[in-house]
Amino acid sequence: MKIEIKRDNKTQLFDITTKVTTLLSALYYIKEHIDSSLTFGSGCRSGVCGACAVIVNGKEVLACSTPVNDKDKIEPLRYHKVQRDLLVDRCSNITKSLKQTNAHLQSYKPTPLDSKDEELNQIQSDCILCSSCYSACPVFAVNGDFAGPYALTRVYRYAIDKRESKKGTLISSVQQNGVWDCTLCGECTLVCPQGIDPKSDILQLRSLSIGEGYSDPTFVSMDFGGGFDSNWQ
Ligand code: SF4
Ligand code: SF4
Ligand code: FES
């Protein structure tokens, strides 16, 4: 089996002559038997740490839970600084996005939660910050300051938490480079290994924003031309 790996903007072909199951095991095989300098992220090897996210044939996946196939093309995640080969700096982007959006509980209000509330809070808490959704999001190609799907999904998680007493602060932090900048393409939802649906969470955040008195800035600034016609009935 032959696989291609993008390294320093060049593509290198590797021949794997033993039986490997996952893409991560193929990368380890190359490192141990062909080229020890090959660099990639890895941690839990069981789909829970997010460290091994890469792009295979154009789609973001976790290398440890993805089967490897002949002629696969492997690349590092998009919109991240490449440290070496397939290893990217996810931490800088994560810190920037989560800080920018205040994606945490603002002010705790003691409130009993029932099992349905806990279930609801759990969905976005399952995010492993693998950055697959960030890499798949086309908005970053034109706006590097966009908050991005995992940050917005996390804001939504806290905005609907009954223990949050300052929901307005959270909502105000996603008005610029946030909910209204998303194109609702759904690419983030398609690649999430945790089954999280950032597109739908962003739509919900838009509704909450409208409830707080905000509106879509593109719509507000739209020029319909002609002004108001007083004769119009
Ligand atoms: S739905 Fe929005 S956040 Fe998700 S990938 Fe598309 S533009 Fe990005
Ligand atoms: S929302 Fe999904 S794809 Fe995005 S960082 Fe979290 S786990 Fe990864
Ligand atoms: S090594 Fe942890 S998710 Fe793949």
Structure confidence by residue, pLDDT tens digits, 40-64: 999 999 999 999 999 999 999 999 9
Q: Are residues 71 and 114 in the same domain?
A: no
Say if residue 138 is in the same domain as residue 197: yes
- Ligand 2 centroid to residue 148 C-alpha, Å: 10
CB of residue 173 inside a 6 A radius of ligand 2 = no
If you take atom 1 of ligand 3, which residue's CA is the nearest one? 45
Instruction: Report the number of distinct structural domains present in the chain.
Output: 2
Structural domain contains residue 154 = yes
Same-domain check for residues 201 and 129: yes
Are 183 and 213 in a shared domain? yes
Paired strand residues for 62: 53
Note whether 208 and 113 are same-domain residues.
yes
Q: Are residues 186 and 96 in the same domain?
A: yes
Question: Quick check: CB of 191 below 6 Å from ligand 1?
Answer: no
Atom of ligand 1 nearest to the CA of 133: 5
Q: Which of 41, 58, 88 is the last residue of a domain?
A: 88
Protein residue whose Cα sits closest to atom 3 of ligand 1: 149
148 and 161 both lie in a single domain: yes
User: Could you say which of 29, 55, 88 is where a domain stops?
Assistant: 88
Residue 227 lies in a domain: no
Atom number in ligand 3 closest to CA 63: 4
Residue 130 inside a domain? The answer is yes
Tens-level pLDDT at each residue, the chain (233 residues): 999 999 988 999 999 999 999 999 999 999 999 999 999 999 999 999 999 999 999 999 999 999 999 999 999 999 999 999 999 999 999 999 999 999 999 999 999 999 999 998 899 999 999 999 999 999 999 999 999 999 999 999 999 999 999 999 999 999 999 999 999 999 999 999 999 999 999 999 999 999 999 999 987 666 555 544 444 43
Ligand 1 centroid to residue 171 C-alpha, Å: 18
Domain stop point among 35, 61, 88: 88
With respect to residue 201, please indicate whether it lies within any of the assigned structural domains.
Answer: yes
Residues 106-148 have pLDDT tens digits of: 999 999 999 999 998 899 999 999 999 999 999 999 999 999 9
Q: Does the CB atom of residue 49 touch ligand 3 within 6 A?
A: yes
Statement to judge: residues 18 and 41 lie in one domain: yes
Ligand 1 site, residue 139, Cβ cutoff 6 A: yes
Shared-domain flag, residues 181 and 114: yes
pTM score of the predicted model: 0.92
CATH number assigned to the domain comprising residue 54: 3.10.20.30
Structural domain that includes position 177: 90-219
